[in-house]
Structure 1
Amino acid sequence: MVDIGLKPVEPYSFVATTRRLVRSEKALYRVRDGQFLRVLRIQGRPIPVEIGWESGQVRVQTTVELGTREREILARLIRRMFSLDVDLGPFYEHMKKESPLAPIIEERKGLHFVLDPSLYECLIKTVISQQLNLSFAGRLVYRLVELAGETIRYGDEELPVFPTPEQVARLDYEDLQKLQFNRRKAEYVIDLSRQVADGELDLEGLQSLSDRQVVEKLVALRGVGRWTAECLLLFGMGRPDLLPAADIGVRNAVKKAFELDGQPTEAEVREWGEGWTPWRSYVTFYLWDYLTEG
């Protein structure tokens, strides 16, 4: 049994941070007795892990034997995914003067991003989610995983494994259309996967670029617009200062928080957001949570 304890930078709320997983990540996470089960690829090998909270630490367990190098990679991956090294103290101080957002943020103290384990997974899930409600997007993600991926037995559970670019690249557009993907989205998902599999699209190479450079490179790809690029920066890379002001959810949350008569424009949200720099990603995330839970 591999058992790793990872202490986060405080303040950190595991309950608040994992709420989105319970609500909208059902395709890849299983929740059992407060533990989150999912499969992660460690050096290309699918490893089923349990992720929970105990004695002020994120606890990661697996019954799979791991070498020293694999344990280190797993620990680093969980620290990145669950934002364990992100210090939100300066964010909370910065936003105290931002009425009426200050109480919304204070109520969610300790809420962090949970990032996708790979930029490829994040990109494909985001492309699938374009212009769809969360529920239907989640069903399409599940169908893609079921069709192209595999399963790993872990105790009494059959856990899904998010497919590799190569696995998705082998599909035909009609395979996804049979699963209720429209033709255009089927083409986007498969064509992007083929570009990654063939080495034409180096997603990991984007990590060294600025936010602006990442957006410029991604929007040049068929099927990727600004919203998709910004979501990759948010949920794939954890960049702290993104504001997807065109997002309907963000604009609805701003309307609700500021008690506006109508939905603000993208330009108006961006103008307000100037005062939230350099933490606009977290303001965005807290507003999404406020709209859903508030």
Structure 2
Amino acid sequence: MPLPLNPVQIAAAREALVILDPALVPAHVQTPAFDWRLRRGGFEGLFHMIVDQQVSVASAAAIWARVETGLAGEVTPERVLATDIDVLRGFGLSIQKATYGHEIALAQVEGRIDFNHLERLSDEEAIARLVAIKGVGKWTAETFLMFCEGRQDVFPGGDIALQEAIRWADGATLRPTGKQAWARAEIWSPHRSVAAHLLWGWYGAVKRGEVALEDRPA
């Protein structure tokens, strides 16, 4: 698995990004240094990411703790498949997320995806393998590759926060669509993952009232 960038490498990538695209200067200036948002990878990492979706941070942490306890600390494809859907639901999962857990586990066991050697695939190939699993959308696949695999040139253009930050950076009236955001991000290659981190950091700072947008659409 590729190692995530260290702070020095992230700083260098940020400097490269503002040279590639001066529209990112406000985000760069207003966003402090940040670390790579690294999460556990493999089957457990993807299952955890699915569990976390569409619930609060606190709720996600509580549910995942129950999942780990219920599986006796063995969050493996084999253990999940051996656990009935209703039992998984008893840990706090919705029937949909419990089913997706089984689907991801089945994909690994059947060899449709190999989490142990996913780094051998290109970004495009890895995304294709991931989205072929029921319950795994493109945004999930891209963020998994970024946060759990440490990939450096992935951009989840379907993310609403990133789309809004792009709108601010470009001084645009309308938020770009996912397709437009992916196209907009091409100029940031090979640093698209750092660009995503930067725009998320900027978006969060603006929404928390820590920095103000000047001369940009509200």
Q: TM-score range by the shorter chain?
A: 0.7 to 0.9
Structure-2 residue corresponding to 1:53: none
- Structure 2 CA distance, aligned partners of 1:293 and 1:136? 23
User: 2:165 maps to which residue?
Assistant: 253
Q: CA deviation at 1:189?
A: 0.9
Q: Is the 8 A contact 1:92 1:106 kept in 2?
A: no
Matched, 1:120 2:43: yes
For residues 258 and 180 of structure 1, do their structure 2 counterparts lie closer, same or farther at Cα, with a shift above 3 Å needed? farther
Preserved contact between residue 30 and residue 202 of structure 2 (Cα < 8 Å): no
CA separation of 1:259/1:213 partners in 2, compared to 1, >3 Å: closer, same or farther? same
User: Mean Cα displacement is larger for which, 278-287 or 99-108?
Assistant: 99-108
Show the 5 A alignment for 1:1-294: 80=3, 83-84=5-6, 87-97=9-19, 98-108=21-31, 110-150=33-73, 163-196=75-108, 201-294=113-206
When residues 281 and 111 of structure 1 are mapped into structure 2, their CA distance, relative to the original with a 3 A threshold, is same
Paired amino acid for 1:220: A
Is this contact kept in 1: 2:14–2:194, CA < 8 A?
A: no
Pairwise CA distance, 1:259: 4.4
Distance across 2 between alignment mates of 1:163 and 1:224: 18
Structure 2: how far apart are the matches of 1:165 and 1:212?
Answer: 24
Query: Shift in Å at residue 269 of structure 1?
Result: 1.4
* 1:230-261 C-alpha deviation (Å, 9 max, x unpaired): 11210121111111111122113323444443
Report deviation, 1:89: 4.8
Please state how far the C-alpha of 1:90 moved relative to its aligned partner: 4.0
How far has the Cα of 1:268 moved from its partner? 2.3
Once the two structures are superposed, residues 154-212 of structure 1 have per-residue CA deviations (whole angstroms, 9 ceiling, x without a partner) of xxxxxxxx733333333211122234422121111133234435666411221111001
In 2, the alpha carbon distance for the partners of 1:280 and 1:292 equals: 18
Q: Which has the higher strand share?
A: 1
Specify every segment of 5 or more residues in structure 2 that has no aligned partner in the other structure, as ranges.
207-218
Aligned to 1:68: none
For residues 147 and 290 of structure 1, what CA distance do their matches in structure 2 show? 38
Identify the structure with bigger relative contact order (alpha carbons < 8 Å, sequence gap 6+).
2
State the 1:273 CA deviation: 1.0
Structure 1 segments unaligned to the other structure (5+ residues):
1-76, 151-161
CA contact (8 A) 2:163 2:178 kept: yes
Which structure: greater helix fraction? 2
Query: TM-score scaled by structure 1?
Result: 0.60
Query: C-alpha separation between the residues in 1 aligned to 2:111 and 2:178?
Result: 35
Relative to structure 1, the CA distance from residue 237 to residue 94 in structure 2 (aligned partners, 3 Å threshold; closer, same or farther) is same
Aligned-residue identity in percent: 27
Q: CA RMSD in A?
A: 2.9
Q: Counterpart of 1:206 in structure 2: which amino acid?
A: L
Q: Secondary structure at the match of 1:87?
A: helix
For 2:9, what is the secondary structure of its paired residue?
coil
One-letter amino acid of the counterpart of residue 45, structure 2:
C
Cα deviation 1:16-49 (Å, max 9, x = unaligned): xxxxxxxxxxxxxxxxxxxxxxxxxxxxxxxxxx
Cα pair distance change 1:85/1:202, threshold 3 Å: farther
Contact kept, 8 Å, 1:122 with 1:235, in 2: the verdict is no
